[in-house]
Chain A
Amino acid sequence: MKKVLWAGILAVFSVISCIFLMFYIINISDKTVDSIKSIQQDFSTSNFKSAHKKAEKLNDYWEENQHILSIMVHHEMLEEIEQCIALIKTSIDISQEPKNDNFWIESNKATIYLENLREVEIPTLGNIL
């Protein structure tokens, strides 16, 4: 009976932790996408100083959360996002022109990866099947 009770508690705990982790990943990816969009907005209006500041903040934010995310998400996926975020900052440093191709390529790549990370976590019928 004790074993059954423990099994029940563990089963419930694993379900709750999975749901919590799903929302955690969705929350982090949403926040990161919002930050990237805000940087893109600043960059397109030639507000490079603000874009640079936000890119630095985004870099720090991602580094902080990547450690936790790596417990749940495939590490390769996170490394790709990390690279893109680092390149966003570097490309702002290198060229401060609204038509900076590198910036737009890397920021769009990061957005796609993050949206993919979010979509993969949501238990839709497509993902389950």
Chain B
Amino acid sequence: MTIALIRTIILYLLIIFGIKMMGKRQISDLQTSELVITILISNIAAVPMQDSAQPLLSSVIPIISLICYEILVSFFMLKNAKIREIICGKPIVLIKEGKVQQSALKNLRISGEDLFEQLRQADVFSLDDVWFAIMETNGQLSVLKKPEKQPPDATMLKIETNPATIDTVIVSDGVISEHSLKVCNLDKIWLNSIIKDQNIKLEDIFIMTANKDKKFSIIRKEQNK
């Protein structure tokens, strides 16, 4: 059992390292090749974890190879559109200028119900609202509504807007995040002055957020009863 435990830890670390190398992505955003690699790696790793007679190397080498090939292929896909098209395919227009492309639906083996289901997931409940619908290479449907059905934005309404600033967590559970301070162009001197002004100890801060405009908010820790 100890062997199984040690092997599990080694494979876990290897897979975490591999996923980090491949880059962060959500399962729904995975390309076909990435999904295949993920499934393959999980299956390959499972065998030597359970069977101690199986050499660990017989699993480690395929995992490392798969990760390397995935990185190399994604690099070549980035450099060459043709390779990308071969491996990932290309986006297919399902609705063009408001007209459903029946041949494209047939080719992708998507029924009318499937199309409507995906449209509903994209917050579109009437086919009349759609100007373009494109099936992306990762299987998600991108929808462009007709101009008259699109919600107005600030440009359309001719409203002047200020550049948005993002609030970041600069103190979490009493610990200062120096990275977040840097992102907001702030420093510890400013933070200490605020803490002093607010008459609060750093350890008593549950969350403190701030933005580039030096606007901040502090949530104190709840006192234990």
Contacts and interface: CB of A to CB of B under 8 A. Distances in A.
A binds B: yes
A18 B65 CA distance: 11
Given A4-B75, A8-B72, A74 B65 contact: no
A83 to B, nearest CB: 15
A17 B69 CA distance: 16
Nearest to A10: B68
B194 interface: no
B67 A7 contact: yes
Interface string B104-120: 00000000000000000
B55 A72 contact: yes
B202 interface: no
A41 interface: no
Contacts of A75: 52-55
Bin chain B's interface residue count.
10 to 19
Contact of A73 (B55, B56, B61, B67): B55
A105 interface: no
B24 to A, nearest CB: 13
Closest 3 CB pairs of A and B: A7-B71, A11-B68, A75-B53
Interface of A: 3-4, 6-8, 10-11, 14, 17-18, 70-76
27 contacts: A3-B21, A4-B71, A4-B72, A6-B21, A7-B67, A7-B68, A7-B69, A7-B71, A8-B68, A10-B64, A10-B67, A10-B68, A11-B65, A11-B68, A14-B65, A14-B68, A17-B61, A70-B55, A71-B55, A71-B56, A72-B57, A74-B53, A74-B58, A75-B53, A75-B54, A75-B55, A76-B53
